A and B are shown apart, each in its own frame.
Chain A
């Protein structure tokens, strides 16, 4: 790549980053009010989703506070309440992923947000009329499911309603609403139980009714789509820069990812992976901390339930102020360096848990309350920072999944681990000691958050590169160049800490046959697995006919015409040859098509016709390889990947296999052949790649590679005889 091309690419990347509200060091983002006015965006989504968050806080808080009264009325003990809360936690952990899958399939998040608010309020109302324990179990499970689902809806929906330049502030405003719920809920409950003289039933009835009224506000919400204000704009800028139009639909889309594929896609983003770990560790602290805190306030300071609620409300006032200030302070810095929010948040978490730990050891109430509130506010800033940063490095359509992952890590994984590992700590070292001791894992979570910030720039770069690459493919399409059958771009892959593929590019045109050669351990087989969908890459892309299949799983890729034949390991030892052929033919659908496929395979490999009832485990190595290759005759894939065709086989068998491979290729199937024998491979193909230590060292005509002794010296030059026969 020459200097001017590099400069153009850098400029394009900078432009693309600018659409994400990032990379412009000089420009300070305007105040939120002016930004919304300029962009002609309404406040209503922020206010309505915030209001729904407050209602959600009410429902959660109300059951916690009223549980002893409910237990007295219905005749069950606090042990049952604990079980109920545990069941609810499980439901909260279970709900986000199906919700994100639902969103990926149906969209309609505004509708879902409204429905969840209605369901949540109805559950509150329903609880008010419950007279038996099983009914409480059901409503609390439903409450947990609704509560968990909210985590996959609110924050991503809010993020798609506002431009990236306001991302930190918008998430901060949302967190402010959540904290406001914690302030208002105990005050409201105190009002209803005190001057208004209501029992728990009356309180839940009023809160449920208020919730329903608030839920009605969701009627004004509109579905913003995914990435309209960031991803789409970025693609538009790239399209304009590559000769297209900003609103031109992309021709190189990503197929909708299934739930598992989406999660796998997210977990290869280092920032997301690290944030998930940090959230899990923080969740371990969070659950026992909440339990200990209420006991501590009761035991150490003799605070009754309503006083404990007021204490929490008072601490949350500082959270509200700190969150709003954090949004304003961090947004301009976030624009210059998107890792800054995480770094600040991590440091503040460490500070917060240390201050809280010190606070509980103090012998004076007010200093304890002040120090604790400051600590609480510091820790409270983690959520908007982590959410805003995670969303910035996550493709817009996967933000519900990212939100779900964070919620699961925090609640289900971390919470459960915390309950199991740390809940008995108070009996060992006392309540104050237990809370102070939680500062240690809390600080670890803080350090993990700081560390997660370190990968943000690289992840952003990868996201922008993906968008630029897509733009270039669109530009190719406009110029009339067809997309290649297979295009691997800048593929990187690691087994744990060991990176085995380093920016590998590989292209295969329709009907082409290419050889992939290389030394042992060069990464050839790993690259095949990446192409087949068995190993999701850390970076880079895999496109099939222009369609981005990088994170599509192997089963779906098989349906798209990709067939992978691992040498000598492509059969099931206990199945007979006939059972294999029937299995191969299954995707063909109709019986006639399946039989035709089997007949083609048996015509190609006569030996197999005489071994139909023989288990594959009893076949010779050559026969097993024939059976593996026969699959291509049955299904006629678009792309056949063969890993080690000739290894351990006689020249006669290799010759027969090569003949069949050519026949398969002549029928239109593109073939990528990995071979130890350079002569064999290079006599079969026109185009060859040579890999060494995870990098492509040669990409060109096969006969040119035959002249490169410097590359081929490590590869056996045998097998030519078999090809010539």
Chain B
């Protein structure tokens, strides 16, 4: 078989696989287009804030009974997982049946709220950024269902900087 025919056949088979994959993925919960139901209102994108500050947003068409989880400089758990997934390697937390408590989460820069806002009064500098002039942070908001599991793959995030020592 000539090289061109081999390439043509491989190409056809792979294209068929790709098509099947695409079609099957449409109903699999994978998210291919962006979700704009949530919009941040403060702080500004890549704006500079001083502590304490309020992270706020608007949301429409939220699933009933859902809550927001706000994570500062933390990536969210995968779809369908609870916030405790983030601390699955934390031996102290795993040993405590009630963990993670809201206090424990807050200490780690994670908050849950039903309101479209969250007051942030403490936030440590991310590792490796202490030496830089601008202290960059990322706030990520996800939706949790009634059992505290992440709904879908959607995450909304806002980047901002903190200026330390200012009044």
Quick check: is A361 within 8 A (CB to CB) of the other chain? no
- Cβ B136 vs Cβ A129 within 8 A: no
| With contact pairs A73-B155, A199-B34, A299-B132 given, residues A122 and B18 touching in the complex (Cβ less than 8 Å) | yes
The residues of B that contact A302 with a CB separation of less than 8 Å are 46, 134
Count residues of chain B with CB under 8 A from any CB of chain A: 41
- Cβ B76 vs Cβ A198 within 8 A: no
Residue in A76, A215, A219 whose beta carbon sits within 8 Å of that of B4 in the complex: A219
Quick check: is B77 within 8 A (CB to CB) of the other chain? yes
Stretch at the interface among B6-14, B54-62, B90-98: B6-14
Residue in A76, A218, A304 whose beta carbon sits within 8 Å of that of B46 in the complex: A304
Apart from A118-B10, A128-B30, A299-B134, list 7 A-B contacts with CB within 8 A.
A72-B157, A75-B75, A76-B75, A114-B3, A209-B18, A219-B11, A427-B131
Of the A-B pairs whose beta carbons lie under 8 Å apart in the complex, a sample of 15, sorted by A's number, is A74-B78, A75-B76, A118-B14, A128-B32, A131-B30, A131-B79, A198-B34, A199-B31, A199-B34, A199-B153, A201-B31, A209-B18, A219-B11, A299-B133, A427-B131
Quick check: is B64 within 8 A (CB to CB) of the other chain? no
Residue in A111, A118, A199, A299 whose beta carbon sits within 8 Å of that of B32 in the complex: A199
The residues of B that contact A201 with a CB separation of less than 8 Å are 30-32
Complex CA distance for A209 and B22, rounded to whole angstroms: 10
Quick check: is A227 within 8 A (CB to CB) of the other chain? no
How many residue pairs bridge A and B at CB < 8 Å? 99
- Cβ A199 vs Cβ B33 within 8 A: yes
Residue in A125, A128, A197, A298 whose beta carbon sits within 8 Å of that of B136 in the complex: A298
Complex CA distance for A70 and B18, rounded to whole angstroms: 20
Within 179-227 of A, Cβ neighbours of B (below 8 Å) are at 193, 197-199, 201-202, 205, 208-209, 212, 215-216, 218-219, 223
The residues of B that contact A122 with a CB separation of less than 8 Å are 14, 17-18
- Cβ A197 vs Cβ B33 within 8 A: yes
Quick check: is A249 within 8 A (CB to CB) of the other chain? no
Quick check: is A483 within 8 A (CB to CB) of the other chain? no
Residue in A202, A212, A304 whose beta carbon sits within 8 Å of that of B15 in the complex: A212
Quick check: is B85 within 8 A (CB to CB) of the other chain? yes
Complex CA distance for A223 and B6, rounded to whole angstroms: 14
Bits for B66-81, please: 1 = Cβ < 8 Å to A, else 0.
Answer: 0000000001111101
Complex CA distance for A118 and B13, rounded to whole angstroms: 11
- Cβ A129 vs Cβ B25 within 8 A: yes
Complex CA distance for A73 and B35, rounded to whole angstroms: 13
The residues of A that contact B17 with a CB separation of less than 8 Å are 122
The residues of B that contact A111 with a CB separation of less than 8 Å are 3-4, 6-7
- Nearest to B48 among chain A residues (CB) is A302
- Cβ A75 vs Cβ B132 within 8 A: no
Q: 7 nearest interchain CB pairs? A: A111-B3, A202-B32, A75-B78, A114-B7, A72-B155, A73-B153, A75-B77
Question: Which of A114, A209, A304 has most chain B Cβ within 10 Å?
Answer: A114
- Cβ A219 vs Cβ B25 within 8 A: no
| With contact pairs A72-B75, A216-B11, A223-B3 given, residues A202 and B33 touching in the complex (Cβ less than 8 Å) | yes
Quick check: is A449 within 8 A (CB to CB) of the other chain? no
Bits for A48-75, please: 1 = Cβ < 8 Å to B, else 0.
Answer: 0000000000000000000000011111
Q: Smallest distance from the beta carbon of B103 to chain A beta carbons, Å?
A: 23
Complex CA distance for A219 and B6, rounded to whole angstroms: 9
Quick check: is B145 within 8 A (CB to CB) of the other chain? no
Quick check: is A77 within 8 A (CB to CB) of the other chain? yes
Within 291-350 of A, Cβ neighbours of B (below 8 Å) are at 298-299, 302, 304
Q: Smallest distance from the beta carbon of A576 to chain B beta carbons, Å?
A: 54
Quick check: is B140 within 8 A (CB to CB) of the other chain? yes
Quick check: is B165 within 8 A (CB to CB) of the other chain? no
The residues of A that contact B133 with a CB separation of less than 8 Å are 299
Complex CA distance for A74 and B86, rounded to whole angstroms: 12
Quick check: is B27 within 8 A (CB to CB) of the other chain? no
- Cβ A71 vs Cβ B75 within 8 A: yes
Complex CA distance for A114 and B5, rounded to whole angstroms: 11
Complex CA distance for A604 and B77, rounded to whole angstroms: 80
The residues of A that contact B65 with a CB separation of less than 8 Å are none
Quick check: is B21 within 8 A (CB to CB) of the other chain? yes
- Cβ B76 vs Cβ A205 within 8 A: no
The residues of B that contact A76 with a CB separation of less than 8 Å are 75
Complex CA distance for A219 and B11, rounded to whole angstroms: 10
Complex CA distance for A118 and B7, rounded to whole angstroms: 9
Bits for A614-637, please: 1 = Cβ < 8 Å to B, else 0.
Answer: 000000000000000000000000
Complex CA distance for A111 and B3, rounded to whole angstroms: 5
Bits for B20-60, please: 1 = Cβ < 8 Å to A, else 0.
Answer: 01100100001111101000000001100000000000000
- Cβ A118 vs Cβ B11 within 8 A: yes
The residues of A that contact B30 with a CB separation of less than 8 Å are 128-129, 131, 201
- Cβ B32 vs Cβ A198 within 8 A: yes
| With contact pairs A215-B11, A302-B46, A304-B159 given, residues A205 and B4 touching in the complex (Cβ less than 8 Å) | no
| With contact pairs A77-B75, A209-B18 given, residues A219 and B8 touching in the complex (Cβ less than 8 Å) | yes
Question: Which of B25, B32, B36, B76 has most chain A Cβ within 10 Å?
Answer: B32
Q: Smallest distance from the beta carbon of B161 to chain A beta carbons, Å?
A: 8
Q: Smallest distance from the beta carbon of B137 to chain A beta carbons, Å?
A: 13
Bits for A100-140, please: 1 = Cβ < 8 Å to B, else 0.
Answer: 00000000101100110010001001001101100000000
